[in-house]
Structure 1
Amino acid sequence: MYQLIALDLKAARKEKTTKQKESLAKIALLHQNVQSLGNSINEINQMLMDHDDCKFICITEHWKSQDQIINYGIRNFKLASCFCRKEGKHGGSAVFVSLAVQCLERSDIRSLSVVGSFECAAVKCSLNGMNFIILSIYRTPSGNMHVFLEKMEQILSKISDDSASVFIAGDFNIDFSQDSPNKQLSCSLLNSYNIQQTIFQFTRITSASESCIDNIFTNISPFVSNVINSSISDHTAQKITVMVDMNKPANAVKKRILNNERFLCRLKSVDWQNVFHIPQNDVNEQWNYFSNIFQSIFEQVFPMKTFKVTNRFTDSHHPEKIKNNIKECKDRLDVLYVISNSDNSYKPCYNKEKSTINY
């Protein structure tokens, strides 16, 4: 009898393991800066033959107009969203989605694009009951960093209520291999929404330099990421692969509750003069000192909390709530810029939060 019970338990465990494996789906996303989609479409199709698990492809620097880009198709994919420049050359971003995946363009996000500083294509997708938001972003080397952060903050605020898995891919022209202020600001902002960097290898290697200016960010874990020497441009392709449980209900979301008054109060209580005790020629050390204190206060005042979601994904994006969140986010960004501008006694609190965000 005991042997029969043991066999039954073993069979039950095996059946459970099999069902768990069957419920897991492998989903991959690929990003490539192409520097002209017209010159690289054949190479992209060839590359995808070795990466048939890709469901999403993010393209940057497609260099095409709205009328031109619709004439360039990737095999077994559809153009789901694109940003094209109306004036000037080059630039642009696009998201291609597998024909097997239902998707809808997030035009409310794409419309936030600013030429040079934040060129964004955006879609929301549904795959076997799971919801995804995909962003493809291009920023030029001379793009305005303040505009980039402001637009990113607005978008993160929009999508934080959607309880969706997020992929943000692109050529940001921010070297994520260097501990610079631009890298710190970008990663801190994304991390505050539980979205993490996944690419750490160099993505652009020339005879004069090596840099990690292309990246993919996500709120999904675990993941596997790698770069692909595609020879399509002087940038590598980047790929992320995740395993998602299609049977697991997405009934919870992690987010931060903002309390700007308390945050400002805590920041004002810090003796920022200590920053200037560090030698002036050691700018990196000054930045690290400031950044560590700022991040510590941020985590204490805005802890990440888990909330139950009653409606997983809807087409109504709660305009009033978004409006309030955007204002709060702008306040936070202004605080950051006030202090990083190096004191002046906070320029009385950055002219009273720039007259309550009169942008």
Structure 2
Amino acid sequence: MNLNIQGGITNKKEALESILNNHDVNVLCISEHHESSDIKFLKLLDYKVLSYFSRTSCRGGGVCILGRESLNFSKIPFNNSEEKSFEMCSIKLELNKECVTIFSVYRSPKGDFEAFVEKLSIMFEAIYEPKNKHILCGDINVNLLENNKQTKILKNILLEYNLVASIEEPTRITYHSRTCIDNIFVDFTGLKSLAVDTCVSDHTFQLFFFEEFCNNNCTERFFRNFSENNVNSFIDLVSNTDWNNLFYDIQSDDLDKKFNTFYEKLKPIFMSCFPFTKKGKVSYRKKTNWFNRELRELSRAVHEMQQVNKRIKNDLYIK
């Protein structure tokens, strides 16, 4: 899994654990962890830090790779990171008798693109082994949905090593933009990938897995369809709903009652505009005791409302 956690990992550990608790993740690549070298002591469930880079001269940034303690991995004694322009770490993973090299990289929006490209090439020359499989994860801050000079340069360099993007949809959605700046680049087939929205960051997390490791324990996943048409329908229906009894009911100052009235009106609109759709299969890991059904439902409700909020560019004027 690849995620720009945006704003640091310290205050988002529980939210990140809830994501890991719902997905069968072996390796997690994080951008912008905002931690010092003390991140090497970070523990999340049964995951530990396998490799990392932390800034020393300025705040923010940083990359790390976490993995389950049971993984058979080795550290790669190479790092040519440059703060903001090219931050990287890597591991070599023995997986089902195959060797997979995993790179985690980050380039700040203020980072030098030419320096990034140069250091990316140096990294590949030093580490790339044709007999191995390779996975490059990260937030490069180059929008692959645009056909511009930077996109062409990046794609050409990656193609020299047979690396292609596995994600072709927006990975960061704001009120003003929809960009694909996070990705997982691979040099082999037999891989499935998903970009999944999360309330941890305004970046999606990219989940990728080998088909041969998706066994009989896989479960069908269902996602709400937050397409542009559905969002527009939601806006129209909410805008045309009569909310007067909610705001001007002088008979009651009970906020709980007003909220229940609001929720009962909003819920059927939401359910009709954003129905569940089936999308692939993902295997589930064993659930932890603290993350119970009630927390899971609350987390999902917050997450779903956030997705609508992120896609609505104009203010809603309640009639």
TM-score bin (small chain): 0.5 to 0.7
CA contact (8 A) 2:40 2:52 kept: no
Aligned to 2:177: 209
Structure 1 distance, partners of 2:16, 2:117, is 30
Aligned to 1:263: none
SS of equivalent to 1:107? coil
Displacement, 1:244?
Answer: 5.0
Aligned to 2:18: 46
Displacement, 1:181?
Answer: 0.9
Displacement, 1:199?
Answer: 0.7
Structure 1 distance, partners of 2:51, 2:212, is 24
Aligned to 1:34: 5
Aligned to 1:169: 137
SS of equivalent to 2:175? coil
String of CA shifts for 1:265-293, please: whole Å, max 9, x gaps: xxxxxxxxxxxxxxxxxxxxxxxxxxxxx
Displacement, 1:161?
Answer: 2.8
Letter in 1 for 2:75: E
SS of equivalent to 1:174? coil
Displacement, 1:145?
Answer: 1.2
- Give the 5 Å matches for 1:187-226: 187-226=155-194
TM-score relative to the length of structure 2: 0.64
Residue in structure 2 matching 1:178, options 128, 141, 146: 146
More helix by share: 1
| Root-mean-square deviation over aligned CA pairs | 1.4
CA contact (8 A) 2:41 2:49 kept: no
Structure 2 distance, partners of 1:236, 1:145, is 23
**Structure 1 stretches of at least 4 aligned residues deviating more than 3 Å after TM superposition:** none
Structure 1 distance, partners of 2:69, 2:45, is 9
Structure 1 distance, partners of 2:190, 2:22, is 22
Structure 2 distance, partners of 1:90, 1:236, is 19
CA contact (8 A) 1:120 1:136 kept: yes
Letter in 2 for 1:41: K
CA contact (8 A) 1:118 1:147 kept: yes
- Give the 5 Å matches for 1:296-307: none
Displacement, 1:128?
Answer: 2.7
Is the counterpart of residue 86 in structure 1 residue 62 in structure 2?
Answer: no
Displacement, 1:234?
Answer: 1.2
Residue in structure 2 matching 1:56, options 24, 27, 51: 27
Displacement, 1:162?
Answer: 5.3
CA contact (8 A) 2:192 2:211 kept: no
SS of equivalent to 1:70? helix
String of CA shifts for 1:67-103, please: whole Å, max 9, x gaps: 2x13431212120100000121100000012222111
Structure 1 distance, partners of 2:20, 2:172, is 20
Displacement, 1:242?
Answer: 1.7
Letter in 2 for 1:189: I
Displacement, 1:40?
Answer: 1.3
Structure 2 distance, partners of 1:213, 1:163, is 28
Is the counterpart of residue 107 in structure 1 residue 83 in structure 2?
Answer: no
CA contact (8 A) 1:132 1:167 kept: yes
Greater CA drift, 36-45 or 56-65: 36-45
Residue in structure 2 matching 1:136, options 99, 104, 108: 104
CA contact (8 A) 1:220 1:242 kept: no
Unaligned runs of 5+ in 1: 1-29, 246-359
- Give the 5 Å matches for 1:1-359: 30-35=1-6, 36-52=8-24, 54-67=25-38, 69-108=39-78, 111-161=79-129, 163-243=131-211
CA contact (8 A) 1:37 1:72 kept: no
**Would you say how many aligned residue pairs link Structure 1 and Structure 2?**
212
SS of equivalent to 1:41? helix
TM-score relative to the length of structure 1: 0.57
Structure 1 distance, partners of 2:40, 2:92, is 20
Structure 2 distance, partners of 1:98, 1:220, is 23
